[in-house]
């Protein structure tokens, strides 16, 4: 799935520029690059990441996604997420709401638990379609292992910048503890009108998202803006963003920005759109609350930050949000409200 085979992103529609962060420089502790990352994570909460070294793995994940979505629908449905708030597995198009009125989403996706990929061939969270199992060792494990390494490096930088004791954020994302961390390959079929939301406006649930896009369609609503802005895919550049869990841990210093997905713009509009994300999320038992006891900087920030009235565990948080975006669980606009995170002010 080489990016060059797609028509270019149109040059006559406005896009929102993101800072470009060089992962190779982050890895060697380059101070200027760390400042650039910090600026991006605290202002918009989105940035491009170049030199991440995952292009090949990402291409193979797109192949896995295509193979999986080509399976007959009744086969895919054997691995559906279900209505109890579990994220792992297959989600059919139309099974989630995109807004409070109950308009349905248009994407299908397959979510693979980090825990299952790393424990393969022993299923520890759930079972997957044959197309996933066939690529677990060759494709999914390497993609997840490298994504985890990259996100761990970024978390260690945030740990230091937030003046937390060494390893504090790492302890909330331990490899050994079960979590909702997962890889997702998403397909949005062509043919929808350009204002039909593929994925409704949301903040990401977890700590860090690492996204690979080939076509346009991702939009952000930056602070102070009233109109959605496209984020232009750049070859070789991943798009990274902060999720609600890190925003909560940091007392709002790190920003979890609202975003959504619409069909690709202009000459890309007639194409199906594929995207790939690795979501780093805290361990299931971790409480989502500002780390005020561990950092004076966070304690000072927290007074004017969004925070949960009653802290919940990461597991409770994900279950509530995933469950309440499912159409099957919808009773009215309140169900959408119950699926929201920090984007509406106090969560």
Ligand X SMILES: O=C(O)CCC(=O)C(=O)O
Among residues 194, 199, 196, the alpha carbon closest in space to that of 264 is found at 194
Is residue 215 part of the contact set for ligand X (CB under 6 A)? no
Q: Which of residues 198-217 bind Fe ion (CB under 5 A)?
A: 204
Question: At closest approach, how far in Å is the CB of 259 from Fe ion?
Answer: 6
Query: Min. distance of Cβ 320 from ligand X in angstroms?
Result: 16
Assess contact for 264 and 217: CB atoms under 8 A: yes
Nearer to ligand X, 172 or 259 (CB): 259
Binding of residue 199 to ligand X (CB under 6 A):
yes
Give the C-alpha separation, 280 to 151, whole Å. Answer: 7
Q: CB count, 10 Å around CB of 142?
A: 17
Q: Can residue 113 be called a binding residue for ligand X (CB under 6 A)?
A: no
- From the list ligand X, Fe ion, none, pick the one residue 261 interacts with, judged by a Cβ distance below 5 to 8 Å according to partner type: ligand X
277 binds, among Fe ion, ligand X, none (CB under 5 to 8 A by kind): ligand X
- 132 touches 64 (CB < 8 A): yes
Q: Between 110 and 298, name the residue whose CB sits nearer to ligand X.
A: 110
Q: Which does 275 bind (CB under 5 to 8 A by kind): ligand X, Fe ion, none?
A: ligand X
Question: Is residue 43 classed as helix, strand or coil in its secondary structure?
Answer: helix
Site string for Fe ion, 149-188 (x = CB under 5 A): ----------------------------------------
Q: Which listed range, 30-38, 77-85, 159-167, 210-218, lies at the site for ligand X (CB under 6 A)?
A: 210-218
We find the least distance from the C-beta atom of residue 165 to Fe ion, in angstroms, to be 30
Exactly one of 147, 186, 280, 295 binds ligand X (CB under 6 A); that residue is 186
Span of 52-60, 134-142, 211-219, 336-344 interacting with ligand X by CB under 6 A: 211-219
Nearer to ligand X among residue 159 and residue 280 (C-beta)? 280
Which segments of 163-295 does DSSP mark as H helices, in order? Answer: 168-172, 244-249
Six-digit token string for 30: 């380059």
User: Would you tell me the crossing angle of helices 31-43 and 141-161 to the nearest 10 degrees?
Assistant: 90
The helix/strand/coil state of 151 is helix
Per DSSP, helices labelled H in the chain are 23-27, 31-43, 55-69, 73-77, 114-119, 130-133, 141-161, 168-172, 244-249, 296-301, 314-325, 333-338
Chosen from Fe ion, ligand X, none, partner binding at 211 (C-beta under 5 to 8 Å by type): ligand X
Q: Binding pattern to ligand X, positions 240-279, x when CB under 6 A? A: -------------------x-x-------------x-x--
Rounded to 10°, the helix 141-161/55-69 angle is 130
Q: Which is nearer to ligand X, 115 or 204 (CB)?
A: 204
* CA end-to-end distance (rounded Å), the chain: 39
**Among positive and negative, which fits the CA dihedral 219, 221, 227, 231?**
negative
Q: Which residues bind Fe ion (CB under 5 A)?
A: 204
Q: Which residues bind ligand X (CB under 6 A)?
A: 184, 186, 199, 204, 211, 213, 218, 259, 261, 275, 277
């Amino acid at each position: 799935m080489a990016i060059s085979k797609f028509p270019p992103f149109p040059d006559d529609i406005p896009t929102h520029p993101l800072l470009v962060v060089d992962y190779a420089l982050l890895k060697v502790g380059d101070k200027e690059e760390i400042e650039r990352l910090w600026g991006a994570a605290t202002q918009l909460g989105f940035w491009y990441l170049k030199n991440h070294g995952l292009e090949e793995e990402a291409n193979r994940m797109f192949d896995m996604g295509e193979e999986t979505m080509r399976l007959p629908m009744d086969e895919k449905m054997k691995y559906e997420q279900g209505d109890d708030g579990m994220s792992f597995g297959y989600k059919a198009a139309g099974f989630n709401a995109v807004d409070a009125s109950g308009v349905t989403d248009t994407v299908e996706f397959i979510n693979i638990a980090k825990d299952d990929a790393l424990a393969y061939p022993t299923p520890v969270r759930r079972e997957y379609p044959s197309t996933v199992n066939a690529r677990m060792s060759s494709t999914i494990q390497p993609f997840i292992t490298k994504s985890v390494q990259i996100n761990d490096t970024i978390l260690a930088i945030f740990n230091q910048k937030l003046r937390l004791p060494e390893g504090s954020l790492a302890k909330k994302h331990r490899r050994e503890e079960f979590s909702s961390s997962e890889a997702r390959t998403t397909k949005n079929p062509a043919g929808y009108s350009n204002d039909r939301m593929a994925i409704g406006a949301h903040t990401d649930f977890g700590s860090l998202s690492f996204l690979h896009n080939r076509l346009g369609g991702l939009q952000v609503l930056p602070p102070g803006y009233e109109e959605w802005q496209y984020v232009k895919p750049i070859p070789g550049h991943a798009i990274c963003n902060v999720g609600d869990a890190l925003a909560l841990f940091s007392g709002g210093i790190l920003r979890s920005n609202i975003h959504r997905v619409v069909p690709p713009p202009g000459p890309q509009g007639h194409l199906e759109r594929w995207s790939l994300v690795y979501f780093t999320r805290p361990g299931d038992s971790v409480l989502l609350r500002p780390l005020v006891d561990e950092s004076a900087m966070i304690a000072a920030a927290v007074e004017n930050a969004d925070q949960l009235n009653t802290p919940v565990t990461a597991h409770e948080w994900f279950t509530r949000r995933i469950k309440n975006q499912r159409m099957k669980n919808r009773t009215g606009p309140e169900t959408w409200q119950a699926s929201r995170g920090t984007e509406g002010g106090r969560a």
